[in-house]
Amino acid sequence: MRILLINHYAGSKTHGMEFRPFYLAKEWQALGCEATIVAASFSHLRTTSPNVKLNLVEDCVEDVPYIWLKTPGYQGNGFRRVLNMCAFTAQLFRYKKFLVERCHPDVVITTSTYPLANVPAYRIAKASGAKLVYEVRDLWPLTLVELEGMSRFHPFIQVMQWAENFSYREADRVTCTLPNAASHMISHGMRAEKYAYIPNGVAMDGWQGNGAKLPEGHWKTLSSLKAEGKFLLGYAGSHGVSNALSFFLEAAALLREQPVALVFVGQGPEKEVLQQFASSQELTNVVFLPPVPKACVPALFSLVDAFFLGWQKKSIYRFGISPNKLLDYMMAGKPVIHATAAGNDLVAESKCGFSVQAEDPRGIAEAVSKLVRLPPAEREVMGQRGRRYAQKHHDYGVLARQYLEMFH
């Protein structure tokens, strides 16, 4: 089977996020399929951009074929990002014939965020006699309306809505990383039998051993806290408004008298605000550290006792969540405190920690206290339940086979 995977933001181990297309392609290859990834030359998610000087460049990353289509760079979410999206869509139209003749796909998969690329993908699939699969990871444009506050009547939203409806109507199958999204899709023209829930995944090879060595500054800081007898509750990832970290900090104020240190690892637009709040409140039990390379994550997580993941109270989460960082927490084999009001809860399902209401500092603090009081052996059992759950349901090998079963 020949699979053409179109993902504007696709990355790799070499380029950084996002990793899902790369790992799925590797697994499909292991199962005897041919898989080619088509991606834009520029994405804000990547740490390293490919060297693309021509409009189309063929590449190979660990035996996975890539086709990079040249697009302009951008910063933030303004006009230039919209231009970047439009350029990628236009390049797919421009190189339709090349992609058909070069890849001869049996299946064409397009991935959100935005649904506009499904229009040229539909043409590519038709010209190839291939099945078209729309993989939804973010409900655009609804997310922009409910999270960002954009008007439903904004011209950009109207175009995205037309493209989303087109995608649900014309795709042969629709997959989604959100478990409760089918009702929304059906209301926008999808036939119920098209839907399949295939969640986000985790690469098992990244969790064999402790990976790369932790940067010295991180190691010294965490080792010093451990030597002081601190229970380390970690958060690793983006520091943005949607991560609800301000409530985690408010919980720190309620934990001053306990032997607990909150460790923030990462970067993001809210980091400076969070640091200023911690300083103004004299939160000596909070530590901020810079992000680490992905290969260093297992070593980082081995020094942490438990993790925190929080969400805002937003109606968009009624369709469910499938956060990659939670899967990494679970693979580390440590308990998780989950502050959520979403339509699903992997922590509760796997019994790998404690769940509390979103935006509830007191609930977070009480869960931390409860976790600290548990015997280490019980925390170990709790963490291992999460690891086994992730291995059983979220291994990319498992997800790749789910796709192939759906194709057949």
pLDDT tens, residue by residue, 361-401: 999 999 999 999 999 999 999 999 999 999 999 999 999 99
- The candidate with the shortest Cα–Cα distance to 195, out of 219, 221, 175, 218, is 175
Q: What is the pLDDT of residue 47?
A: 85
- Distance, in Å, from the CA atom of 33 to the CA atom of 25, rounded to the nearest integer, reads 9
Evaluate whether 245 touches 273 at the Cβ level (below 8 Å): no
Residue in the block written with tokens 């997800």? 399
Within 10 Å of residue 240's Cβ, how many Cβ atoms? 14
Half-sphere exposure of 100 (CA within 13 A, CB side): 17
- Domains in the chain: ranges and CATH: 2-198 (3.40.50.2000), 205-393 (3.40.50.2000)
What are 332-362's pLDDT values in tens digits? 999 999 999 999 999 999 999 999 999 999 9
Span 68-75, average pLDDT: 96
Which CA distances in Å does 133 have to 25, 125, 226, 273, 338?
A: 15, 10, 48, 41, 32
Q: Furthest-apart CA pair in the chain: how many Å?
A: 67
Question: Helix H segments across 95-154?
Answer: 96-103, 118-128, 142-146
Write down the pLDDT at residue 206.
81
- Tell me the C-alpha distance between 309 and 207, whole Å: 20
Report, as an integer, the average pLDDT of 34-38. 98
In the prediction, which pLDDT does 214 show?
92
Q: Report pTM.
A: 0.92
pLDDT score of 216: 94
* Mean pLDDT value of segment 180-190: 97
Q: Classify residue 288 by burial, with Cβ atoms within 10 Å: 0-12, 13-18, 19+.
A: middle
Asked if pLDDT for residue 408 goes beyond 80, the answer is: no
pLDDT band at 210 (very low <50, low <70, confident <90, very high): low
Element (H, E) at 57: strand 56-61
Lowest mean pLDDT among 11-15, 150-154, 205-209: 205-209
pLDDT in the model for residue 100: 98
Residue 295 in this model has a pLDDT that exceeds 70: yes
Q: What is the pLDDT, as a whole number, of residue 197?
A: 97
